[in-house]
Amino acid sequence: MTIQAHIASLEKKHGALEEELQSVLASPSADDREIADLKRRKLRLKDELQRLKASTRH
């Protein structure tokens, strides 16, 4: 898998997590732990995306 393909895959996963997070937030019975977990996972993906993008610029 090329770096660009890996970046695209991570961006897709990040978008899916964003959709899932919005769905959970819209639910009246939203679980704070689930919300925190989704946000952490999303942030980890974002950090990895930034790292990969930075490494391809060099």
Quote the CA–CA distance of 35 and 45 in Å, as a whole number. Answer: 16
- Domain extent, residue 11, equals 1-54
Query: Where is pLDDT greater, at 57 or 10?
Result: 10
Angle at 54 between CA 50 and CA 55, to 5 degrees: 120
Burial of 11-37, coded b for 16+ CB within 10 Å and e otherwise, reads eeebeebeeebeeeeeeeeeeeeeeee
7-48 per-position pLDDT tens digit: 999 999 999 999 999 999 999 888 999 999 999 999 999 999
Query: What integer pLDDT is reported at residue 58 of this predicted model?
Result: 64
Query: What integer pLDDT is reported at residue 11 of this predicted model?
Result: 96
pTM of this prediction?
0.85
Quote the CA–CA distance of 54 and 13 in Å, as a whole number. Answer: 19
